[in-house]
Amino acid sequence: MTELIDGEAVAAEVREDLSGAVATLEDAGVTPRLATVLMNDKQASETYVSMKQRDCEELGIAAEDVRIDADAPAEELFDAVADLNARDDVHGILVQDPTPDHVPDERVLSAVDPAKDVDGFHPENVGKLVAGNARFKPCTPHGIQKLLAHQGVDTEGAEVVVVGRSNIVGKPLANLLVQKADGGNATVTVCHSRTDDLAAHTRRADVVVAACGVPELVDGDMLSEGAVVIDVGINRVDADTEKGYELVGDVDFESAKARASAITPVPGGVGPMTRAMLLYNTLKAAGEQTGVDVTLP
């Protein structure tokens, strides 16, 4: 019987556990605060930002919604980030991806004060993560690690194949899983668009994480019997629905479910965990910046 890994339920537990940290901060006179900075007109980004704002408010984290016109000069974004860096009442800053082409990505990643970089993408924080001393674990990989732990998957000595080598999912996840630490100690293979014979890798994996942005790329034939399957993908594909599309993952759910011992659905798997771990990082940032000892799950 294949288990469905319920990301909504695990994320709700994480949020519940985090409410203690909010109370500890409030008792110390600190209101944790996240600022999101949005500089594009894309509907999907707008939706992501408003979900993040709502998640914060529901938990008792103040959310500040900074908007920069997509046509504005790059300096407007960098000035806004510098102002947020300088404010003691702002503990976390997130610049919603993507920014317009005239705003260099590298500069955006470096602009946020590393102590407030709740995405964990600043080069200093990437370095700390790789060295096994993470300040902020990036939200999606951290959420996946929590899901695996919650599912009772022992990663120690396990063969994990990560499909995708992006800086926000594949690479940081591989780094976390390979570390000599709880939730790590795995033998990790990172596959990507130039991998020869992807199926040969995925078929020998105990855990397959699909984060390639290709709808339903990983199917049941590519899995070993009893594998644990984590589907990170969120792809809009045309469909005969009211909205004209539906969301599918990077895994062909039905065929994969027939072979897997456990699998995440899309939606309702990794996505809610990503959102919960942003709250986690914001509270970690608030605790560290104010010297308040918060206990995090």
Query: Which positions lie near ligand NAD, rule CB under 6 A?
Result: 140, 163-166, 168-170, 191-193, 195, 198, 211-214, 217, 232-235, 250, 270-271, 274
291 is in an annotated binding site: no
CB 218, min distance to ligand NAD, A:
9
255 is in an annotated binding site: no
How far lies 116's CA from each of 130, 212, 256, in Å? 19, 28, 39
CB 135, min distance to ligand NAD, A:
20
Residue of 113, 119, 206, 250 with catalytic role: 119
Dist CA 68 CA 49 (whole Å): 13
Estimate to the nearest angstrom the gap between the alpha carbon of 291 and the chain centroid. 26
Nearer to ligand NAD, 21 or 277 (CB): 277
164 is in an annotated binding site: yes
Alpha helices in 119-269 (DSSP H): 123-130, 139-150, 170-178, 198-202, 253-257
State yes or no: is 52 an active-site residue.
Answer: yes
Nearer to ligand NAD, 163 or 262 (CB): 163
State yes or no: is 250 an active-site residue.
Answer: no
Dist CA 273 CA 246 (whole Å): 21
226 is in an annotated binding site: no
Strand 62-67 with 159-163, pairing? unpaired
State yes or no: is 252 an active-site residue.
Answer: no
Give, as one character, the DSSP assignment of residue 71.
T
Query: Could you give the count of Cα atoms lying within 13 Å of 271 in the half-sphere of its Cβ?
Result: 13
CB 139, min distance to ligand NAD, A:
7
Nearer to ligand NAD, 166 or 224 (CB): 166
Name the residues annotated as catalytic: 52, 96, 119
Binding-site residues for NADP(+) sit at 164-166, 234
Binding-site residues sit at 164-166, 234
